[in-house]
Amino acid sequence: MFGIGFHLKGGASFDLEGERFETRPLDVWAGATPVGSNSTFCLPEHGFHTVSLRFAPDAIRDLLAQHCQYGGVLDEMARVASARVSISRLSPLDVSTARIVHAMFATAYAGSARTLFLESCALGLLAAQVDAAARIATPPRDLADTQHMHSARAWLDDHLDDPPSIVELARVIGVNDFKLKRSFKAAFGTTVFGYVRQRRMERAVAHLHDGLSVADTADAAGYICPRCFADAFRRHYGVLPSELTRAAMANAPASIG
């Protein structure tokens, strides 16, 4: 089995044959397992909205090949799916792809129209991942460097509310600050602080979808002034947070099963 989970709300703990990971709002994870593998997951009590796309490994490889997407992480995971378990965190949902996932839950279509709509949304989510992979593609680096940068990113994800300084982060992962700044930008296409800002904005989208007020969302994103947060949000996404809140409320179904 090969699958990609787009996590709009809530988080969960997963275990695929000993490969463990936890999801957060707006996370996107891919997983591949051989036939007969065991998997378990633990859902949160406060709600969980995830769209999961599942494919036969050959099917996703054929789909990627049709669009000349060879050798990327998805292609590689599908290629080895019959032999071993693998997981990978992909590019997180942004405001446009979060809207796609929300629309999949909220659609009023039925029957064949619903199927067609959901399939088109699924292709849109895949297209966003292919585009993100193309934009951050970089020349190969040595394995240790790659592991250090992924460790740095994971540490930042776990400390978004109180992010370390460049020097502190470099000390945690075991490199000097110059190497950290250079290699992090090469690996992820943004600076360390740019990544923190981006993840806080992505988390803000999840908070707004969950019904949190703009003022409370601004505070959670580290802004003392809600207006400053609104301006930064508009620069980042092209819309005001209040517009996103109104759109989510207008499109929300009465209940989601």
What's the pLDDT band for 79 if we cut at 50, 70, 90? confident
Asked if the model's pLDDT at residue 255 lies above 50, the reply is: no
Contact between residue 189 and residue 137 where contact means Cβ atoms under 8 Å apart: no
Q: Residue 132 contacts by C-beta under 8 Å, 6 or more apart in sequence? A: 90, 91
**If you average pLDDT over residues 162-176, what whole number do you get?**
91
* Claim: this prediction has a pTM higher than 0.75: no
**Strand order from edge to edge, sheet including 13-16:** 19-22, 13-16, 39-42
Assigned CATH topology for domain 2-135 = Jelly Rolls (2.60.120)
Instruction: Give the pair of three-digit tokens for residue 59.
Output: 């099917």
What integer pLDDT is reported at residue 69 of this predicted model? 67
pLDDT single digits (tens) 116-137 = 999 999 999 988 888 877 665 5
Mean residue pLDDT across the chain: 82
pLDDT band at 156 (very low <50, low <70, confident <90, very high): very high
Q: Which has more pLDDT, 16 or 180? A: 180
Q: Which of the pair, 36 or 222, is modelled with greater confidence?
A: 222
Residues of the chain with CATH 2.60.120: 2-135
Closest by alpha carbon to 199, among 239, 240, 244, 152? 152
**Is the pLDDT higher at 253 or at 187?**
187
pLDDT of residue 122: 92
Q: Are 246 and 211 in contact (CB under 8 A)?
A: no
**Burial readout 152-165 (b: 16 or more C-beta within 10 A, e: otherwise):** bbeebbeebeebbe
At 98-119, the pLDDT tens digits run 889 988 988 889 999 999 999 9
Please report, rounded to a whole number, the percentage of residues in the chain having pLDDT higher than 90.
12
Is the pLDDT score of 140 beyond 60?
Answer: no
Residues of the chain with CATH 1.10.10.60: 143-251
What CATH number belongs to 143-251? 1.10.10.60
Which residues make Cβ contacts (< 8 Å) with residue 149, sequence separation at least 6? 183, 184, 187, 188
